Structures are given as C-alpha cells and as structure tokens.
Homo-oligomer: A and B are copies of this chain.
Amino acid sequence: MKKDFRIIGFDADDTLWINEPYFHETEKQFCELLSDFYSTGIVSQELFKTEMQNLNLYGYGAKGFMLSMIETAMRISNNKVSHLTIEKVIQLGKDILNKPVVLLEGVEEVLNNLRKKRIELIVATKGDLLDQERKLAKSNIEKYFHHIEIMSDKKESDYLKLLSHLDIKPENFLMVGNSLKSDIIPVLNIGGYGIHIPYHTTWQHEKNAKVENQNNFREIEHISELIKIIEE
C-alpha cells in the first residue's frame, strides 16, 4: 500500500471503542423479556425486521433502536406485552446511552504515534449526533483529531461530500473501520484506501458485504498493525 495519505479517517463504534456488544446484550435481554411469546430467534428476527422498516425514518442510533423494540414488543405479543416490560425496554435503551466509553486495546497508542507523523486524523462516524458527541467527550481521545464528522449515513455520496469539505482527493484518504459495508467499500469505490479491522460482534445490517476490488485494500487483525502499514 502506498503511503502518502494526507488524512486518515477512523470509524468510531467498534473501531475506536466498544459499541455493538452493548446493543447485542440489550437485544438478548429484550428477547428474554419476550420469551413468553416467542423464542429468542424469532424475537431477534422480528426486531431486525422492524429496525429495517424504520431505518430510513429513524436512522442509526439508540433512540431508534428503543422505538423499534417497543413497536416489536407490541406487534409480536399481539398487544399482550405488559407495561412493565415496555418500561424495562425504555430503561434498557437509556442504559445504552449512559454506558461508559471503553476504548479498544491499543487505540490511544496508535493515535498518539500517528499524530507525530504529518497526517491529519479525523473521526467519521454515523449515528445519533448527541450520542456520538457525548461518546467522544467521554473517550478523552478527541484531542488527537483535526476534525469530527458525524454522518447520517456512510454511502459513496456521503464520503464524496466529506472529502470535498476536507478539500482532499480520494487517493490521499485512508479510511479505517470495522464495517466493510460502511467504512471500506464506499471509500474504495470512490478511489480512496481502506483498512478493515474486523470486530468480533457485528450488527446483521453491516454483514454480507464483500470487497470486489482488492486494490487499495488491506485487512488487519489489530489496530496496532496500522503503524507498520503507514511506515512500510
């Protein structure tokens, strides 16, 4: 991989800090709350269906997730779900929003190392504006970044807009993230570079993506390997 990147973009959730396991754990508890009605598999599947139906309207993030859980609980229980369960679902969602921000291992060392080179670092994350800002503030790593971009989606057109705003060409931009679908493929498609760091827990919606064009692309196991690639 070439190395004259002017800007490296980092995805945040599950690239810099833990996120999906919190949603995963909440979904597990949601399925348990509804286990009188259906098995975990069915509840999970119905929740995903609701989320996909609402995605255009709600976008990504915990509040939409909460609303979709409530809607699913009422629909699949044929409105037999107890108020107590709905209350618990709201509390589960609030708990997600209040979760601590736990950095993934090695993140701060890598950012600290990269900052010493002549490369600008940015965060490019999708999700809820307030929630992502809050996580960044809690993370204590905001200081490493020249720019924070919170995006409603991560399609090719969204990256093109971002790069135009940053006044940079795709060939000088490297994106690092855990989602092939959101962080890597759209960036490769517009002529940028992508480094994929798979994470053990991935939301179903972000799965089933394949990199067709292996140019400009690398997959690594751990964020610390990034330094070697930049230096090689």
Give A contacts to B, CB under 8 Å.
Answer: 57-59, 63-64, 66-67, 70-71, 74, 79, 81, 83-84, 86-87, 90, 93-94, 97-98, 128-131, 133, 150-153
- Least CB distance from A113 to B in Å reads 26
In the complex, are the beta carbons of B71 and A90 less than 8 A apart?
yes
Contact B130 A58 (CB under 8 A): yes
* A130 to B: closest C-beta gap in Å: 4
Count of this chain's copies in the oligomeric assembly: 2
Chosen A-B contacts, 20 in total, with CB atoms closer than 8 Å, are A58-B63, A58-B97, A59-B130, A59-B131, A63-B63, A63-B64, A63-B67, A67-B67, A70-B70, A70-B90, A71-B90, A74-B83, A79-B83, A79-B84, A128-B128, A128-B129, A129-B129, A130-B152, A130-B153, A133-B152
Q: Which residue of B lies closest to A63 (CB)?
A: B63
Output the nearest chain B residue to A89 by Cβ-Cβ distance.
B70
Q: Given A71-B90, A83-B74, A87-B74, do A57 and B98 touch, yes or no (CB 8 Å)?
A: yes
Q: In the bound complex, what is the Cα–Cα distance between A63 and B152 (angstroms)?
A: 15
